[in-house]
A and B are shown apart, each in its own frame.
Chain A
Amino acid sequence: MVGLSEGEQEFIKGGIAQDLRSDGRKRYTYRPIYVETGVIPQANGSARVRMGSTDVIASVKAELGRPSAMQPDKGKVAIFVDCSPTAEPTFEGRGGEELSAELSSALQHCLLGGKSGAGAGIDLSSLVVVEGKVCWDLYIDGLVISSDGNLLDALGAAIKAALSNTGIPSVHVAAEAASDEQPEVDISDEEFLQFDTSGVPVITTLTKVGKHYIVDATLEEESQMSSAVSISINRQGHICGMIKRGGVGLDPSVILDMISVANFVSRQLMDKLDSEIAAADADEDES
Chain B
Amino acid sequence: MNSLLRTCQTPFRPAQREACTSERSLNGTRRIGWSIRSGVGRWRRLMVSATMGTESGLQKGIAEFYDESSGIWEDIWGDHMHHGFYDPNLLASVSDHRSAQIRMIEEALSFAGISEDLLKRPKSLVDVGCGIGGSSRYLARKFGAQCQGITLSPIQAQRAQALAASQGLADSVSFQVADALEQPFPDGQFDLVWSMESGEHMPDKTKFVSELARVAAPGATIILVTWCHRDLSPSEESLKPDEKKLLNKICDAYYLPAWCSTADYVKLLQSLSLQDIKAADWSEYVAPFWPAVIRSALTWKGFTSLFRTGWKTIKGALAMPLMMEGYNKNLIKFAIITCRKPE
Q: Answer whether A and B are interacting partners.
A: no
Which residues of A are at the interface with B, using a C-beta cutoff of 8 A?
none
Which residues of B are at the interface with A, using a C-beta cutoff of 8 A?
none
